[in-house]
Amino acid sequence: MPPRPGAGSTPAASTEAAPSAWQPFRGAAFSVMWTATVVSNIGTWMYTAASGWLMTSLAPDPLIVSLVQVATTLPMVVLALPAGALADIVDRRRLLIAMEIITTAVAAVFAVFVWLELVTPATLLLFTFLVSAGGVLTMPAWQAVVPQLVPRRDLAAAVTANSVGFNLSRAVGPALGGAVIAGFGIAAPFWLNAVSNLAVVGALLWWRAPRRSDSRLPAERIRNAVVAGVRYGRHNSHLRATIMRAVGFYLFSAAYWALLPLVARRQIAGGPALYGILLGAIGAGAVAGAFFLPWLKARLGPDRTVSAATLGTALAMALFGIAHDAATGLAASLIAGASWIAALASLNVSAQVALPEWVRGRGLAFYLTVAFGAMTLGSVLWGKVAGMIGLPLAHFAAAAGALGVIALTRRWKLQTGAGVDLTPSLHWPAPITSREIEHDRGPVLVTVEYRISPADRDAFLAALGKLARERRRDGAYAWGLFEDAAEDGRFVETFFVRSWLEHLRQHERVTNADRVLQDAVARLAAEPKVSHLVAVEPGHAR
């Protein structure tokens, strides 16, 4: 299953402009994969629309209905980080094939349950969680293979084409799902979802991925890879700022996603066809918004674009609150879709440009875990609020909260990592050792001795403060800086790394931007002296 809503399929930003929007389709690999993912995503959106509508029949309580959205987004919170680690350390094509086959089988089993009328609210939530989990486990891998489908010069155009294709499926799928339910019964969309996913399986079996340039070091273990991704996300200021803006947006925009089935059924008193049309209108609004987004960002910049999108989302939720006819609901959906894509694209690009290649899958997974955690929490929150004060007031409260978020999150700036060179510098020399050291030996204490002019003390400390963040991002812990009490201008930097292998990985992770920081320190210090001390147990024989 290709990426779910909000997955952010934007690959690394490129400074090269695509010569034509149609250029990526000249390659067979991109054309086949694009077509297959559009077909599969249409099936996914049919499934999404049918699930929400089915729950309104099984248990119309607002909290229970909102749990469908929770079951859709919760796997992102639980599984995104392991999925990001997998995408960085295993063969991505094989991972995608295996997971897409499993997801197809799960979707087919659920279609049987619906067909035999064996579905309960708990069963629906369970299978929604499982299908969504399959999508989450493949999401980082899908993001990572896009640059392998097109030349670098066509990357920007490929991103745009993928965005249009995804939102096109979101416009077509729900409306088609509503029509299929009305014409063939509630089980039909679930069968069609399972069948549509076979398009992606076939495309992946046909495609042959180019060979990746592998590290000389052994592949990371899944647990260590997850820890490295979380550590990098915590100490990356560009990514943290993006996450703060995303949390504010997702927490309140979750309201209309979670409550839309009840708006269609209770407020507007429509059927499944109307619900599908409203979901499709969100997709259509997103497609239209995608074409206007470059113009909007050129005039407003990423920060004000997200603020404008949040304002549009608040307007959409206010309209959902007063919607008692199809026209008002349709207008709200179109505004919501255009606002959604404007915020989503800006936030995803901001996350992408903050990450180097070695941790891209895990860094994006860290971002999505927190962002969709906010959306999951918001779905539960607004479902509960709607049950207490009603649908209209819940939408009005969410709209007011979204307006407040614009002011509260203004201090965090987006895409500040766009001008940072994150390509590997590979300038660290190999550690000098008197004997071979086992990879699992550790922890490792690295010390760097500096001697500076006392007049440069303040500038030196400021430069070391910036360098400390780089050390922690790339694998260090317990970082410290010590000043000699007996000799002015002598400082010793220390940091620990879990193992000798992890320290060797640090050598591969240093970027050109990090090198600039290190050069700034080196200009103030005469020939820093580096030592590597490996832990040993007393009495331990070599």
Q: How confident is the model at residue 212 (pLDDT cuts 50, 70, 90)?
A: low
Q: Say what the pLDDT of residue 542 is.
A: 52
**Per-residue pLDDT tens over the stretch 327-373:** 999 999 999 999 988 898 888 888 878 888 778 778 888 888 888 88
Has residue 492 got a pLDDT over 90?
Answer: yes
- Distance of alpha carbon 207 from alpha carbon 91, whole angstroms: 13
Q: Say what the pLDDT of residue 396 is.
A: 96
CB 354 within 8 A of CB 417: yes
Least confident of 207-211, 280-284, 308-312: 207-211
Has residue 5 got a pLDDT over 70?
Answer: no
Has residue 442 got a pLDDT over 70?
Answer: yes
Beta-carbon contacts of 429 under 8 Å, excluding residues fewer than 6 positions away, are: none
Q: Say what the pLDDT of residue 540 is.
A: 55
- pTM of this structure: 0.74
- Distance of alpha carbon 93 from alpha carbon 133, whole angstroms: 18
Q: How confident is the model at residue 82 (pLDDT cuts 50, 70, 90)?
A: confident
- Distance of alpha carbon 542 from alpha carbon 536, whole angstroms: 10
Q: Say what the pLDDT of residue 541 is.
A: 53
**Gap between the terminal Cα atoms of the chain:** 51
Q: Say what the pLDDT of residue 159 is.
A: 66
Mean pLDDT score, 223-249: 87
Has residue 284 got a pLDDT over 80?
Answer: yes
Every domain of the chain and the residues it spans: 23-209+218-408, 444-534
Q: How confident is the model at residue 8 (pLDDT cuts 50, 70, 90)?
A: very low
Given the candidates 1.20.1250.20, 2.60.40.10, 3.40.50.2300, 1.25.40.10, the CATH classification of the domain at 23-209+218-408 is 1.20.1250.20
**Per-residue pLDDT tens over the stretch 106-119:** 999 999 998 988 88
Mean pLDDT score, 176-190: 84
CB 131 within 8 A of CB 73: no
Mean pLDDT score, 291-319: 91
Q: How confident is the model at residue 293 (pLDDT cuts 50, 70, 90)?
A: confident
DSSP helix/strand/coil, 257: helix
Assigned fold of 444-534: Alpha-Beta Plaits (3.30.70)
b/e per residue, 129-156, with b = 16+ CB within 10 A?
bbbbbbbbbbbbbbbbbbbbbbeeebbb
> Highest-confidence range of 73-87, 167-181, 521-535, by mean pLDDT?
521-535
- HEC secondary structure over 37-48: HHHHHHHHHHHH
Q: How confident is the model at residue 14 (pLDDT cuts 50, 70, 90)?
A: very low
Q: How confident is the model at residue 15 (pLDDT cuts 50, 70, 90)?
A: very low
Q: How confident is the model at residue 157 (pLDDT cuts 50, 70, 90)?
A: low
